[in-house]
Chains A and B, each alone.
Chain A
């Protein structure tokens, strides 16, 4: 977190809000800017499928309000509901993709509108409105969970406290399992938006004397409050109270989607004011997702504005049009594993690879003393030197080990398409082709941008 804030503010001093420019100043090598193109590719590719997923939460928020899924009482019923919504199947709830498409267009329109309003009037206003609302909705839901007790007296073991026990009772033996470390790292990378290239863009808007140590700490502590205290007190405890511990473990292991989209709607139906609570829950997820979508689109916005001098509104519209066209295969080929394939390369592998590059460039190439000075400049807090050691040695070593594990555990399987039905092969290759194409286009854009004389004017003073 501090490394990304440091790189971002450093790049901002030289008029660059994206990693091609930032890396250029960190490393005096022609390749640096092209490696930096990854810092635009990753967030933009994420926006493509993330915006679509975020639109599902908007849809479910409206379905909760209107009671569209109220008649569904079984878990499998909710699985079928989402499947039809996504166009994988057709049933009485959804015959085609029109609902999913409509909510996607609304979400995309909102994102473009916020981006077109700029940093202060768009992104900052969204954050100032959405974050307090997320906390408020979260607190209401947490209060409801805490007062739930044992919903069915016939099953005294199924209660909220058993759910909290599932989360908090320590089991140290599980620390020997490498998959737990991988999952925890993936979780914290994604929730903090580390390795995306997005934090650097936000940090580039800070002044020379603004405090990146405090800002980084504030980001991490706010995130911990939202995901550990609020998130950890809602979904799992309430699912244990209604489904029991064994079933909850199965649902949780199947993924966050299963918990959020299948289990929660069933539970809301069994609670007083369930429709209102369901609306709050999905709207909370929508607001959280929308702030992330906007953050991930901002690097490309900044790149187009700074390096190509495209004005804000045009840049926002351009991104909107690009997302609209490029998201089509994600929507229509979802059932062939298109989205999952993109998520592996970007949301799993891409984040770790980019984080390794950042750490090496900042701490090893730019120099540990320079990097530490850059982070500490303007800092209100004195960070213990212990963190210097962590940043320089522990972080890259840990990330390399993690990448190795990923490669052998998942990477080889993904590369060889192990377990993928043969009829899905063309779609998987198409997803890989699309991602490679986006990266190639970003590299070409960087190359053309660097041919303009007004850009790189001076090197970092020694």
Chain B
């Protein structure tokens, strides 16, 4: 894998993992969605 490849992979993984941590932290800190049967 080239240096550019490593940069692309690490940046993409970082953005995705960061976004997941951010959204799930926000989701868990707010109330649960409504439920319906």
Contacts and interface: CB of A to CB of B under 8 A. Distances in A.
Interface of A: 118-121, 124, 161-162, 164-165, 167-170, 205-207, 210-211, 214-215, 217-218, 221-222, 224-225, 228-229, 312, 380-381
A224 B16 contact: yes
Contact of B23 (A162, A168, A170, A218): A218
A211 B5 CA distance: 36
Nearest to B24: A218
A380 B36 contact: no
A207 B1 contact: no
Contacts of B17: 225, 229
Given A168-B5, A221-B16, A224-B16, A119 B35 contact: yes
Interface in B1-34: 1-2, 4-6, 8-9, 12-13, 16-17, 19-20, 23-24, 26-27, 30, 33-34
A261 to B, nearest CB: 27
Contacts of B36: 119-120, 205
A232 to B, nearest CB: 9
B5 A217 contact: no
A214 B30 contact: yes
B16 A214 contact: no
Given A169-B1, A214-B30, A381-B26, A119 B19 contact: no
Contact of B33 (A118, A161, A168, A206): A206
Contacts of B30: 211, 214, 380
Per DSSP, are chain B's interface residues mostly helix, strand or loop, or mixed?
Answer: helix
A221 B19 CA distance: 6
A164 B1 contact: yes
Contacts of B34: 205-207, 210
A259 B29 CA distance: 40
A298 to B, nearest CB: 11
Given A214-B23, A225-B16, A225-B17, 19 more contacts: A119-B36, A119-B37, A120-B35, A121-B37, A162-B1, A164-B5, A168-B8, A168-B9, A169-B2, A205-B36, A206-B33, A210-B34, A217-B23, A218-B24, A218-B27, A221-B20, A229-B13, A380-B30, A381-B26
B4 A224 contact: no
A269 B29 CA distance: 45
A114 B9 CA distance: 38
9 contacts: A118-B37, A121-B37, A168-B8, A169-B4, A205-B33, A217-B23, A221-B16, A228-B13, A380-B30
A349 to B, nearest CB: 30
Contacts of B35: 119-120, 124, 205
Given A162-B1, A169-B2, A381-B26, A217 B37 contact: no
A312 B1 contact: no
B20 A225 contact: yes
Query: Among B2, B6, B35, which residue has the most Cβ atoms of chain A within 10 A?
Result: B35
Contacts of B27: 214-215, 218
Contacts of A214: 23, 26-27, 30
Nearest to B2: A169
Given A168-B6, A229-B13, A210 B33 contact: yes
Q: Identify which of B2, B27, B37 gathers the most chain A CB atoms within 10 Å of its CB.
A: B37
Contacts of A162: 1
Interface centre among B1, B2, B13, B17 (most CB of A within 10 A): B1
B37 to A, nearest CB: 4
A215 B33 contact: yes
Contacts of A225: 16-17, 20
Contacts of B12: 168, 228
A168 B20 contact: no
Contacts of A217: 19, 23
A170 B26 contact: no
Nearest to A161: B1
Contacts of A206: 33-34
A51 to B, nearest CB: 23
Contact of B26 (A118, A229, A380): A380
Contacts of B26: 214, 380-381
Contact of A221 (B5, B9, B23): B23
Q: Which 5 A-B pairs have the closest CB atoms?
A: A165-B1, A169-B5, A207-B34, A118-B37, A168-B5
B8 A170 contact: yes
B33 A207 contact: yes
